[in-house]
Structure 1
């Protein structure tokens, strides 16, 4: 899967040009409201941390904050369908938001500059292709992180909307095929485990026959 991603973004066709991520996107940071003030938490605003980033699409968060909590912190709301990346703790993690979501300081929201006509799904697949580079750049004795300047200077492949859609469709289809294969093998492994348990149970009650 990763090799397919790398192939697409390394074999650029005509009309592709290199920009920095900081040129083509606003990179929005987050924050954490003071936990000493209970009125900042339990509101209607989903508040995401790295722990919530377990799937490609972030549908819900473990915690929520209030309007007051948002106003009294550096947290920002990232609009739905935009991409959020981890720049600390869970380096390389990325997700798309299903709803407007506030983020903490370990995350960054990537909001495309309108003049470049960049699709969020294209950003998503591009970041997937360079996620190992981000992981490798992490520094810190106990918690790995990368600086905002590093994220801003990442080389971003700018291309036409049609070409972006082609890449998105290719990767979406490939992702579905990969997931189907994984599910098939997972089911087979589960069946083998069940068979193994049955054989063991029979063996230990003297029911095993040759």
Structure 2
């Protein structure tokens, strides 16, 4: 039977490698924890803003302002898709927007464009700037997302278009109002007989109608909050990239024997 009591000790480089692995694992655990906290902060900031939007909507509905159905103070319609089989309908200079491009911001251009012929031979229609778009259906978190047109553009049929009566309803106020309903409407349609939204649902949404000056004051305040949330997300994105770069740097140094 071999006597291991006199076996030579592990070479120094193996001991060093073992220590390096332990050090890398410790650093990786700390980086992963920092990334987890960053992701949590990102989610919490969005939920906090959504909660404030919801509270603002409830307060406005209870403050005695006139109320109306959106369909009574705005045109509510949708777009269409030219046939993909006809190449002359595509590649023009008319913006054509899909629901995946609706991310609760402003739209200045689109991923795809159609031609005048394509628009005329489909149910697509040209919407003016200040039109508010809502994703009636889409993958993941898309359903219920919004956008404000800053250009003339067409959309596909999955986008609901709201054209507010300008003397009554501010477009940005309308967009924030719809955003305040995002989680509620998704919850109502989740797993039910009506998983997608439709134009009728949008038309029947009740909206408070403060004077236009008050609507714009509310919008300015919400814009300020949104800017702070965006700034926080920017920091979180930067920190996420820095954490990923840090881990790559640690591994690179380890392979070079610098750790």
TM-score (normalised: structure 1): 0.88
Contact 2:130/2:163 (8 A) holds in 1? no
Higher normalized helix content (fraction of residues): 2
Aligned residue for 1:184, secondary structure, equals helix
Root mean square deviation, CA, Å: 2.2
Bigger mean CA offset, 187-196 vs 145-154:
187-196
| Alignment of structure 1 residues 70-85 onto 2, 5 Å | 70-85=119-134
Write the distance in 2 (CA, Å) between the matches of 1:15 and 1:162. 16
Unmatched 5+ stretches in structure 1:
none
Unmatched 5+ stretches in structure 2:
1-48
Contact 1:28/1:76 (8 A) holds in 2? no
State the partner residue of 2:144. 92
Residue 253 of structure 2 corresponds to residue 202 of structure 1? yes
Contact 2:92/2:114 (8 A) holds in 1? yes
Write the distance in 2 (CA, Å) between the matches of 1:36 and 1:194. 45
Change (3 A) 1:19 1:192: same
- Post-superposition shift, 1:24? 1.3
Give the number of the structure whose alpha-carbon radius of gyration is greater: 2
Write the distance in 1 (CA, Å) between the matches of 2:80 and 2:97. 10
Specify which of 98, 104, 108 is matched with residue 160 of structure 2.
108
TM-score (normalised: structure 2): 0.73
Higher normalized strand content (fraction of residues): 1
Aligned residue for 1:78, secondary structure, equals coil
Aligned residue for 1:51, secondary structure, equals helix
